[in-house]
Amino acid sequence: MVRAAVLTAVNAPLTVADIELPEAGPGRVRVRLAAAGVCHSDLSLSNGTLRQPVPAVLGHEGAGTVVAVGEGVSRVAPGDRVVLNWAPACGSCHFCGLGEPWLCANSGAAAAVPYARLAADGSDLYPGLGTAVFAEETVVAAEAVLPLPAGVPLADAALLGCAVLTGYGAVHHAAAVRGGETVAVFGVGGVGLAVLQSARIAGAGQIVAVDVSPAKEELARAAGATDFVVAGEDTARRIRKLTGGYGVDAAIECVGRADTIRTAWSATRRGGRTTVVGIGGQDQQVGFSALELFYFGRTLAGCVYGNCDPAKDLPVLAGHVRAGRLDLSGMVTARIGLDDIPAAFGAMTEGRGGRALVVF
């Protein structure tokens, strides 16, 4: 029996309860969590923006130690340190065949299958995004664990499972930022901080951070921002002014709002790239005129999980951590317990802080 933060219904507050996990069966791995990041996607699952069967244990950004493995598991063993992968690719669908594992048609299947039970009444529980890391322990498919390279602190490594892979991939894969280019990052939350650091690692010449909260300037500059703009009606104009009147080569939107996406587009130079990382609701509609699409020649692209292959990108990120180029602990603005997750959701909704980390 372990403690977990349970979502009993959409828009209901998370409650900490005892749950019963099964043994690690064939092809399964049981992991004792060291830490779990509180991501905006968890908030989106709790409020219905993203679909998730309930009752569920949310949380998908986690790292821990393998407790037990089931029959047929050879990639990890008890005692191994691992990062959870909430979108493991099946390797056999159409998109995996195209070499695009981040678009795998089957990566989300585990979220729709009960994985545990509530201790109080025995009712089925579903794993949030297939991983359910808002709990002391979890049981997942072997494909959902990635061995953690040496030299990376285990608790901080939780951030690698979502925020950092997403932010790094947005810069290096989706937007393909090159040395000397100008970059604007919209939203200085967990993913935004990872984007800022990754743009710095990529050698961007000017990095403009944009957020509604002036209090985030210090956090943004520590992550690599050379300029900071408080979001307002004239955000795009101010960014163009900072970049010689042209706009940035690459704008990366980490908020998921129609108005922010539109602003990021307007702040992008002619021929530049606007990359949307933030997850918005179906009601968030973005409009463009046919003439501006032709005239500006910009590229607008979505970005799923940083367009990453986690098995290949995680060792690269670990190398940046060991070399001191990537600061994981600097992204964490609150270390909390399971009971504090609702407050972390509230802070996220209000745009406060960077990444909250549940530490077990």
Q: What is the pLDDT of residues 56-107, one digit of tens each?
A: 999 999 999 999 999 999 999 999 999 999 999 999 999 999 999 999 999 9
Report pLDDT for 281.
85
Query: 3-state class of 258 per DSSP?
Result: helix
- pLDDT (tens digit, 9 = 90+) per residue, 155-207? 999 999 999 999 999 999 999 999 999 999 999 999 999 999 999 999 999 99
CB distance 185 to 196 below 8 Å: yes
- What's the average model confidence in pLDDT over 9-34? 96
Strands 137-141, 355-359: pairing kind:
unpaired
- Residue 49 is predicted with a pLDDT of 87
- Convert the pLDDT of each residue in 17-27 to its tens digit: 999 999 999 99
In the CATH hierarchy, which fold is given to the domain comprising 2-161+327-359?
A: Quinone Oxidoreductase; Chain A, domain 1 (3.90.180)
Distances, alpha carbon 186 to alpha carbons 144, 219, 253, in Å: 30, 14, 5
- pLDDT value of residue 354: 86
Pick the CATH number of 166-304 from 2.40.40.20, 3.40.50.720, 1.20.1250.20, 1.20.210.10: 3.40.50.720
Element (H, E) at 186: strand 182-186
Cα–Cα distance between 275 and 273 in angstroms, integer? Answer: 6
Fold identical between 2-161+327-359 and 166-304? no
Mean pLDDT for the chain? 96
Q: Taking the model in full, what pTM does it have?
A: 0.95
Cα 344 to chain centroid, rounded: 15
Predicted pLDDT of residue 348: 86
For the chain, what is the largest distance between any 2 Cα atoms, rounded to a whole number of angstroms? 64
**Does residue 353 surpass a pLDDT of 90?**
no
| pLDDT single digits (tens) 302-349 | 999 999 999 999 999 999 999 999 999 999 999 999 999 999 999 988
Question: What percent of the chain shows pLDDT beyond 90?
Answer: 94
Task: Check residue 111 and give its pLDDT.
Answer: 95
Q: What is the pLDDT of residue 345?
A: 93
φ/ψ region of 339 (left if φ > 0, alpha if ψ in -120 to 50, else beta) reads: alpha
pLDDT for the residue numbered 350:
86
CB 41, CB 50: distance < 8 Å: yes
Mean pLDDT of 232-256: 97
Side-by-side strand order, sheet with 182-186: 227-230, 206-211, 182-186, 248-253, 268-276, 299-302
- What is the b/e burial string over 101-114, where b = at least 16 CB atoms within 10 angstroms of the residue's CB? bbbbeebbebbeee
Which pLDDT does position 287 carry in this prediction? Answer: 94
Asked if 317 and 171 touch (Cβ cutoff 8 Å), the reply is no
Q: Domain residue spans in the chain?
A: 2-161+327-359, 166-304
Q: Does residue 153 have a cis peptide bond before it, meaning omega lies within 30 degrees of 0?
A: no
Q: What is the pLDDT of residue 135?
A: 98
pLDDT computed for residue 217 by the predictor = 97
Give me the phi and psi of 164, to 5 degrees please.
-80, -45
| pLDDT value at residue 158 | 98
